[in-house]
Amino acid sequence: MRSTPVPALSCRAGCAACCIAPSISSAIPGMPGGKPAGVRCVQLTEQGLCALFGSPQRPAVCGSLQPAPDMCGSSREHAMHWLTALEAATTAGTPD
């Protein structure tokens, strides 16, 4: 039985949930200590695009987070909720 390839999911224009909801521990230009969860990345443009996209200065974790149906859902609100829940689940019990 042949499986049908799943087409790559594209980012939703103006969503930027992945640039706001999760924390990023790597240094980001303009945020040398990283980015706390729920805080808009300083490299996020007003159009909701990454100003560092394709740059070697962009943290590796940012490039590794790819859009997926379970994460993105059908709305920005879904993506924010999913990523916020993931952040909470992966930081629960970790010391500050």
Distance, CA of 39 to CA of 55 (rounded, Å):
21
Residue 23 covered by a domain: yes
Residue 39 covered by a domain: yes
Residue 32 covered by a domain: yes
Residue 49 covered by a domain: yes
Give the count of domains, the chain.
1
Residue 10 covered by a domain: no
Q: Name the token pair of 7.
A: 């087409």
Residue 5 covered by a domain: no
CB 46 within 8 A of CB 52: no
With bands split at pLDDT 50, 70 and 90, how would you rate the model's confidence at 9? confident
Domain that holds residue 21: 17-90
DSSP 68: -
pLDDT of amino acid 13: 85
- pLDDT tens digits, 46-93: 988 899 999 999 999 998 988 999 999 999 999 999 999 999 998 866
Find where tokens 């859009």 sit. 67
With bands split at pLDDT 50, 70 and 90, how would you rate the model's confidence at 3? low
Distance, CA of 8 to CA of 50 (rounded, Å):
19
pLDDT of amino acid 40: 96
Residue 2 covered by a domain: no
